Amino acid sequence: MEQRSEPRTSDSKQESSFAFFFDTEPRTIQEQSVEEEDEEVPNAESALRVQSSSEDGHEAGPVAYQLPRKIHIYFSDTGGGHRASALALEAALEKQYGSQVSVELIDFFRAAMPWPLSQAPETYQTLGNFPSVYKRAWDYDQDSEKWQDTTSYQWMWSYSKEHIVKYLQPLDLDLAISVHPLI
């Protein structure tokens, strides 16, 4: 059974910009008793075992397994260094928080978008071979003040909304990070 708690209050300041993220207790899985240690624990390879001790120092009571914070970093291989940014964030999170986090990099266009938008990385690479076509596509929406107001974005969102929601709904994430402006 997973449990989440309210934010902890602490007098000490953490140096990370992700401090707010770690202000809540991590999800835990409770086992019924210590005798059941041989039973399989969900996500056992990534869960950290936490055993409370009795007053005399012996193990007592149920065993709790803290699950690492589940983080997805969304990028797309559409130029602009999105993958490099995602890899840098992943490395920094794993260096700073180690086994407290489980970070997964996902090419969002490939994973969550319907065809033909799921082919955006390949299309982008192909467009690079045809600069005049790429320039026309770029110039098409340059009259809009915000990228969310562009005709291209509005079309992509209306076409993809159901697929994106269907992809994201079942995910049990603690944090989602996007390093791509269209995601």
Please tell me whether the overall predicted TM-score, pTM, comes out greater than 0.75 for this model: no
Cα 143 → chain centroid: 33
* pLDDT tens digits, 95-128: 999 988 999 999 999 999 999 999 988 888 888 8
The number of helix segments (H) and strand segments (E) in the chain equals: 5, 7
Q: What is the pLDDT of residues 148-163, one digit of tens each?
A: 888 888 898 999 999 9
Tell me: the pLDDT tens digits for 7-36?
444 444 445 556 666 666 667 665 544 444
List Cβ neighbours of 115 (8 Å cut-off, separation of 6 or more): none
